[in-house]
Chains A and B, each alone.
Chain A
Amino acid sequence: WLQYFNKEEFIYAHDPEKKCKTGDIVLIQELPEKMTRLISHMVKHVVYPLGDITDPLTGKKVVVGKYRDEIAEANELYGESENAFKYDDAPDRGWQEDKKDFTHRESYIKYHEFPDDDQPYAV
């Protein structure tokens, strides 16, 4: 019977300013000459950062299928609580790295107990 499989292509792109983070959709340009054996492209700019997408047509911020204004309107109609999440007060992505969010590095299965090392990326 027919089976369909995904194909993945890995490209090494030069990013000296560290603009992109894991999961971002990014625009890359092919370099005229290969920088190293592997690096063939360079990162131009981030199009859609992960979890913070702006609609390209309207320019408004979006959460999955709804605009943020719509959600805010609904909350206001119900009577927004004090503990609700506010987008304006939220800091940029990365303030919980190494504290609660360990997705910026690849995790591995612990294979040895090091006396000095805490091994925060070991599962």
Chain B
Amino acid sequence: MAAGVATWLPFARAAAVGWLPLAKKIMPKPPVDKKSRNDEILFVNVSGIRFQTWKNTLDRYPDTLLGSSEKEFFYNEDTQEYFFDRDPEMFRHILNFYRTGKLHYPRQECIQAFDEELAFYGIVPDIIGDCCMEEYRDRKKENQERLAEDTEAENATDTPLPPHSTSRERLWRAFENPHTSTMALVFYYVTGFFIAVSVIANVVETVPCRPLKGSKKDLPCGEKYTLAFFCMDTACVLIFTFEYLMRLFAAPSRCKFMRSVMSVIDVVAIMPYYIGLVMPENEDVSGAFVTLRVFRVFRIFKFSRHSQGLRILGYTLKSCASELGFLLFSLTMAIIIFATVMFYAEKGTKGTNFTSIPASFWYTIVTMTTLGYGDMVPNTIAGKIFGSICSLSGVLVIALPVPVIVSNFSRIYHQNQRADKMRAQQKVRLARIRLAKKGTTNAFLHYKEDGGFQDRDSDNALCLKNRSAFEHQHHHLLHCLEKTTNHEFTDELTFSEMCMTESVGYRTSRSTSISSQQGVSTSCCPRRGKRRAIRLANSTVSVSRGSIQELDTLQVHKTSAGPQRCLTLKGATRLLTIGGPPLCLSQEHC
């Protein structure tokens, strides 16, 4: 339980008085606090440095070394103190954790040493406060990366397929993560190969080959070997079409898939071929058809499925849209300004290239990007002055947003690598929180299961888990609530079971009935197998006055997921009685 929650427990127990008028049953006996109630100062000697603290401070975290009875192992009778042969500097931080409830990470300490100390004192590093958590995580990560031989992170999506997945899901997984199966890998490489082939073919078919016999002109290879290139193109397009259709079939959300960038690229890559097939050999449209062939170069973008870096680059450009926009805007502004100036400066010159302002745009762009083709040059002095200002400012304007884009790219690249790890960590953290919550609920249920409410004899006491005073009192509080409402806490498993089977319900007998039933647990040590709960009837106490003997039988409740318990000593009979009339209960005076 969290820090000072233990401090509030007495208050919650006192406030439980509010339940009493409504309670349907008699409240259970409170736990007897065996330990002395006076708070005392403990002396803790850590390698010679003496620390002093209240006992209550350490008791706040009963599942750590200092809060539990484990510290008794370190007790030194002669000097009446607890002696630890550990680092006193670190201990300061550990003790502060008990005092404040927040664990801080000292920046000057080595991360491994700190982790070791935490492990020794039984403190889980997850509770480090937010102020120091980032530093701790960063240092720990660096350390792990340094230690790890294999720096390549395990792909987070390389989880085994859930069973009973349809062929469609399997196909989609194969497409998204080619590493998962050999077939997928083969297909991945085959498509990659064909993309390369297609791109090379596109390039080569424009290279001039030796001319045909009887002709002087150099022919591009595409026209010489028309049939060969056509066959290769057809093969590639067939493969791409097949791949696209398969992806479309396997996609979990077809609309989303069709709108995604990669699928658009796929379509654009194969469309020209089909359009070319259906288009007639017409002079008018062949011009347009030729332009369509340009789109075939988009096949090169299909490589982005195969390359992580390319995807990141695309993502960077997308995320730097604002910077790029700013760059473009400022460039446009500068171009217009300088083009106007140059035009009017060079207006007087005869035979000038600066025929209009748009014509000057070309000069300005070439100058600002420091290209300087030299096809347009100013002749007047004013023109030369402004031309030089133009080139100087060009350098500045372009140089400014570029580092932003670069840093964005670097950040996104590293983020991408970290994102997978963080997702896994987040899952673990959530699971841990849920587990902690479940832990407290299960602790109570297990306590009941262990027959904690019966009068224990010394034999049984060994078996019961060593519970702290806090747990005693907390369980008593929960028990009181159960009595108030006359319902008991169970866990989800048994509850759903109950709903399904509609097993023996409870008997609400208003009349005072003494019913005793025997718990059935035939074997001495029940195995961890599927042992279903054996319900015993629960007779309620009558609220009418003069209630006499009330026999409360608790059910023997074993969950299938329960850990191995030493139930041998409890024996077969589980006759539990909490006897005594209400008047007798007043004997339990504090």
Whether A and B are associated in the same complex: the answer reads no
Which B residues form the contact surface with A (CB < 8 A)? none
